[in-house]
Amino acid sequence: MDLRLDGPPGRTARAVQGPPCAMVIFGSSGDLTKRLLIPALYNLAKAGRLSDKFALIGVDRTDRSHEEFRAYLAEGVRSFVSDTGTGPVTAPFDARAWEFLAARMTHLKGDVTDPEMYDRLAQALKEAESEHGTAGNVVFYLAVAASLFGPVVERLAAAGLTREENQHWRRVIIEKPFGHDLESARALDARLAKVLSEDQIYRMDHFLGKETVQNIMVLRFANGIFEPLWNRDHIDHVQITVAETVGVERRAGFYEETGALRDMVPNHVFQLLSLTAMEPPNSFAADAVRTEKDKVLEAVIPLDDNDVRRNVVRGQYTAGVVRGQPVKAYREEEGVAPDSMTETYVALRLGIDNWRWAGVPFYMRTGKALTRRTTEIAIQFKQVPFALFRDTPVETLTPNVLVMQIQPDEGISLQFGAKRPGPDIHLGAVRMDFRYRDYFNTDPSTGYETLVYDCMIGDPILFQRADSVEAGWAVGAAAVARRPPMAPDRLT
């Protein structure tokens, strides 16, 4: 994460080129690679952030020539620049950036469970080093099923590919889900720790790549006006919402086993929680920030059986209409059991047992096939005393609410009370709105650019440490295991 204070808005920061390196993507024909990783690399190339000495090797089982591989990925970039899915932001296709990237891309056909493939990969990496000057540095990106994380890393190590010597580095990016509960996350960590050092492991939570998520820290710690109010004396409660309009799509196999709670809460939602509630770190050094974030999760009050019944509710979408389109019931989706009890919606109330937050409820909710797509954090401040308005027609006072809108339509708004014009004292809630797109002239981004670039430059600040993943599971999975009640109502 490149922290700099720029001049006037709109001025683009000078690009700092990443170091020479190769990137190996396991699962290079998957959706993630096509929709997000390659567009992110294209954006990095466009911004001048990829080294000239960069090479990309895509590994998967499909039979494709290098040329076919490039053509397949070019489609992903073209549709990304014309449709970011988040609104009207589009950008012209930059042929030079694409050529830069395409010239450095090759495909390696292989099965990631086959040890022989790793010998061929070693050979391909040597060729990339002599052809492009990658200096022996490699980012291995595991865009594969979670069950393959352990086996792939072990085979890389057995082939000597994770060894750091002659001043080159080897790093591994691991996508979520990192385990499916506390025990499995610990087991995966133990497995990785046998062959990798902690500083070679980059545990990805893609929410941390979102600009507005990174902005939470800046809003809190680079502005003098918020932090004095950011505590139990002034804040009534906090609401974190991650609402999606999409249903389970083609992921029923994964989702049936996972559900909304495991899929979203211990990772994405808790990242938002910890950035919102953390103490100011001593610096922006990765460990200083990650330590403060972890402390928040450690202070979340664990839920016992009774607490779960009172503070957690699950739901499942039934048939309905979302954004004017008919939506099937979850149980009618392909691959979902007709009597499935997997939740597609979950809401929780949690408390944080520390000096700053004691007694302040944190409400969190997330779900699929909801009527509106929004990810936001709303900080509701305490009411002022009513005394002053006692003898006026004012019956209620609107609370001050600070909303950090993470997506779509990224921005920040502050609600406060204002007097309605006229001879009587009538109050209304008004909003001061800041929208990123009005102020900064940015190209569409996938949210993976910063994360991939940070891994290349060796900055783990936006990646999760083992203890933070485990702290997330400790609270989140405990809630899952206790089977929170299912809401009887329709939740579309």
From the CB of 127, what's the least distance to ligand BG6, in Å? 34
Is 469:294 a contact under the CB 8 Å cutoff?
no
DSSP lists the bridge partners of residue 13 as: none
Is 403:370 a contact under the CB 8 Å cutoff?
no
Binds ligand BG6 (CB under 6 A): choice among 132, 155, 171, 176: 176
Which one, 184 or 231, has the nearer CB to ligand BG6? 184
User: Which residues inside 141-160 make contact with ligand BG6, applying CB under 6 A?
Assistant: none
Other residues' Cβ atoms within 10 Å of the Cβ of residue 41: 29
Which one, 223 or 325, has the nearer CB to ligand BG6? 325
Q: How far apart are CA 453 and CA 23, in angstroms?
A: 11
Of 18, 13, 15, nearest to 451 by C-alpha is: 18
> Does the annotation mark 268 as catalytic?
yes
Please identify which residue in the block is written with the tokens 């196999």. 253
The helix/strand/coil state of 332 is: helix
Q: Spell out the residues 6+ positions from residue 320 whose beta carbon is closer than 8 angstroms to its own.
A: 326, 327, 369, 490, 492
From the CB of 175, what's the least distance to ligand BG6, in Å? 8
Q: Is 333 in the site for ligand BG6 (CB under 6 A)?
A: no
Query: What single string gives the DSSP state of each residue in 71-98?
Result: HHHHHHHHHHHH--SSSS------HHHH
Which one, 244 or 470, has the nearer CB to ligand BG6? 244
The helix/strand/coil state of 406 is: strand
At position 420, the amino acid (one-letter code) is: R
User: Which residues inside 407-426 make contact with ligand BG6, applying CB under 6 A?
Assistant: none
From the CB of 342, what's the least distance to ligand BG6, in Å? 12
Q: How far apart are CA 136 and CA 101, in angstroms?
A: 19
Which one, 47 or 204, has the nearer CB to ligand BG6? 204
User: Which residues inside 440-479 make contact with ligand BG6, applying CB under 6 A?
Assistant: none
User: Which residues inside 99-128 make contact with ligand BG6, applying CB under 6 A?
Assistant: none
Count of residues in contact with ligand BG6, rule CB under 6 A: 4
Catalytic residue among 107, 132, 206, 268: 268
DSSP lists the bridge partners of residue 265 as: none
At position 231, the amino acid (one-letter code) is: N
Which one, 32 or 122, has the nearer CB to ligand BG6? 32
Q: Is 365 in the site for ligand BG6 (CB under 6 A)?
A: no
Which one, 211 or 467, has the nearer CB to ligand BG6? 211
Report the residue closest to ligand BG6, judged by CB: 263
From the CB of 346, what's the least distance to ligand BG6, in Å? 12
How many residues does this entry show for the chain? 492
Token pair for residue 110?
């292989």
Q: Is 263 in the site for ligand BG6 (CB under 6 A)?
A: yes
From the CB of 406, what's the least distance to ligand BG6, in Å? 8
From the CB of 430, what's the least distance to ligand BG6, in Å? 29
Binds ligand BG6 (CB under 6 A): choice among 60, 129, 244, 459: 244
From the CB of 242, what's the least distance to ligand BG6, in Å? 7
Is 459:286 a contact under the CB 8 Å cutoff?
yes
x-or-dash string of contact with ligand BG6, 179-218, rule CB under 6 A: ---------------------------x------------
Which one, 230 or 270, has the nearer CB to ligand BG6? 270
Token pair for residue 113?
């469970």
Token pair for residue 217?
């820290």
Query: What single string gives the DSSP state of each residue in 428-456?
Result: EEEEEEEEHHHH-------S-HHHHHHHH
Residues of this chain that interact with ligand BG6 (CB under 6 A) are 176, 206, 244, 263
Catalytic center residues: 268
